[in-house]
Amino acid sequence: MSDTDFPGWHGTTIIGVRKGGKVVVAGDGQVSLGQTVIKGTARKVRRLSPGGYDVVCGFAGSTADAFTLLERLEAKLEATPGQLQRASVELAKDWRTDKYLQKLEAMLIVTDGTDLLIITGAGDVLEPEHGIAAIGSGGNFALAAARGMMDSEKDAEEVARSAMAIAADICVYTNGNLTVETISP
């Protein structure tokens, strides 16, 4: 898909890091439309609390599409309280098979402090290796940086923040204005 087909695709970096009994999800604040920075302080990491059950979500891609998916995920979590993986699989099934949802262009990182998952529109619910999940245009840079720091003395938040700083230095669609959420099982 080219930039002209979907210019919002290159607009963010989201990382999830599990270390030391905590999971941290961090996202940058840049919103780009093509080669233009529209906003630098967006919040692409959110906390959902359906029925008192905390889940942290980060999204990359179209904001409106991501909010639609977050609403659907929240409904799935209300139907299956405390079962993030099951709710995520149900969302991915709907996303892949529903004609309206199929058109949504976004990816999600979700965690309840125990599970750390990536959900895609291709029907994927992925539990990444090494306790690190990353999506968006700078996701691979942040992932590589975080992998290099996992054996250090840094805690989950320090790894996430450092990895995001490295991604922001490399990826022009990522900035250093971070939203960071921490959750424990």
The single-letter DSSP state of residue 121 is: T
- For residue 12, indicate whether it is catalytic: yes
Choosing from 4, 12, 41, 63, the catalytic residue is 12
Range 7-183 has CATH code 3.60.20.10: yes
Residue 59 contacts residue 106 (beta carbons within 8 Å): yes
pLDDT tens for each residue of 45-90: 999 988 788 999 999 988 888 899 999 999 999 999 999 999 999 9
Spatial separation of the C-alpha atoms in residues 58 and 47, rounded to whole Å = 9
Q: What is the pTM of this model?
A: 0.91
Mean pLDDT of 132-138: 96
pLDDT tens for each residue of 112-123: 999 999 999 888
pLDDT tens for each residue of 12-42: 899 999 999 999 999 999 988 888 899 999 9
Residue 132 contacts residue 147 (beta carbons within 8 Å): yes
Spatial separation of the C-alpha atoms in residues 149 and 153, rounded to whole Å = 8
Per-domain residue ranges of the chain? 7-183
61 is written with which tokens? Answer: 């891609």
